[in-house]
Amino acid sequence: MSDPAIVIVAAGRGTRAGGEEPKQWRRLGSRSVLDHAVAALAPYGRVIVVLHPEDMARGITHFGGTVTLVAGGESRAESVRNALETIDPESVSRVLVHDGARPFPAPSLIERVLAALEEAPAAAPALALADALWRGDGAQVTGLASREGLFRAQTPQGFRFPEILAAHRAHAARASGSAGAADDVEVALAAGLAVSIVAGDEDNLKLTWPGDFDRARRILEGRMDIRTGNGFDVHAFTGGDHVTLCGVAVPHDRALLGHSDADVGMHALTDALYGALAEGDIGRHFPPSDPQWKGAESHIFLAHAAARARARGFDISNADVTLICERPKIGPHAEAMRRRLAGILEIAEDRVSVKATTSERLGFTGREEGIAAIATATLVAR
């Protein structure tokens, strides 16, 4: 089954949440509320973000082409329909619709919705009400209400694409495109679609009031994800007049032998990043059996690993490389190596360490048969 399309609705003004800008653009940790939502859903399919027309220029600058942007309409239903109309029905069979003000949809919740769509035309997460319900006039309780059979609705809500597109078109025809609908489940029910309920998640809160941001920050702190990976590599000497180490050409009476440029330090660091992501090693992403990588410069591999980390929502906290050799001397070149690695990783130089040691004349490095490197990288979820 093809990947679903992801519609993230972020066209509202969010005035009840306070602040000087719409709530979806407010910072939550190191990035915006909307960024959190996009990062959570992007692994599942193409993302379409619906923005207020006044925010379109900002969105183009902010996302830099990584998502599809659509201008919102007068109502939430119209905004969603605008996004649905951009989707190719020949390539997409399912769609998820999510509120941009919900920054924390968990992978398990998203997967429950997608799994439910295998049996039903629509599915949505919800939480059963546990509190007693009162009616009141704002000052006094005027009555009671049963909570039996009542749920708190959440997103992402999932639909088979042809059915929800038809439902939205019918809703627009009935309401002239302007009448509101609380969410897409309401639109689906009006079209006669059966909607399955899947278990929601208490952390999947919608930011509505000023105090919600305090709760969201506590959730974010509790979700801190720190990962560490290590890498090891070795290359033998061959004939030549320099070695390339951590992206710097170092004069020497020999070179290093390898399928690519044999940059043993950069290879070890690349594997450390892939290891932290649990994505294998260089050979998995750039097979040595593929002739296009013969003689390739290793910054290609390292930049790819760094980009994978960013795409999965991680910042590179630090990178540490140790080169093991008797010669050449690394010290005079270590700062240039740090600068080169920091530039490729797109992080500050003070987060990169390059150092060297000998093996006290023991083993293959001690006999000057080659150079080894070990590396460690730490990733922190944004």
Question: What is the distance between the alpha carbons of residues 31 and 48, in angstroms, rounded to a whole number?
Answer: 19
- The model carries a pTM of 0.66
Q: Are residues 215 and 280 in the same domain?
A: no
Neighbours of 346 (CB within 10 A): 12
- Per the structure, how many domains does the chain have? 2
Does residue 246 share a domain with residue 213? no
182 and 264 fall within a common domain? no
* Distinct helix (H) and strand (E) counts, the chain: 12, 19
Among 222, 239, 265, where does a domain finish?
222
Structural domain of 208: 5-222
Q: Of 195, 222, 249, at which residue does a domain stop?
A: 222
pLDDT of residue 178: 46
- pLDDT tens for residues 230-279? 999 999 999 999 999 999 999 999 989 987 889 999 999 999 999 999 99
Last residue in a domain, options 222, 244, 265: 222
Q: What's the mean pLDDT when you consider all of the chain?
A: 93
Residue 147 sits in the same domain as residue 256: no
Point out the least confidently predicted range of 69-73, 174-178, 356-360: 174-178
Same domain, 79 and 128: yes
Average pLDDT over residues 371-382: 93
Q: Tell me: cis bond preceding 121? Omega within 30 of 0 counts.
A: no
Q: What does the DSSP assignment read for 90-117? A: TT-SEEEEEETT-----HHHHHHHHHHT
Together in a domain, 230 and 267: yes
Domain with residue 333: its CATH number is 3.30.1330.50
* Structure confidence at residue 179 (pLDDT): 55
Is the predicted pLDDT of residue 223 greater than 80, yes or no? no
If asked whether residues 327 and 341 sit together in one domain, one would say yes
Residue 218 and residue 238 share a domain: no
* Same domain (yes/no): 230, 372: yes
Instruction: Give per-residue pLDDT as tens, 278-329.
Output: 999 999 999 888 888 887 899 999 999 999 998 888 899 999 999 999 999 9
The angle, 0 to 180 degrees and rounded to 10, between the axes of the packed helices 76-84 and 161-175 is 130
| Helix, strand and coil in the chain, % to nearest 5 | 35, 30, 35
Q: Are residues 49 and 195 in the same domain?
A: yes
Which residue bears the tokens 């007068």? 74
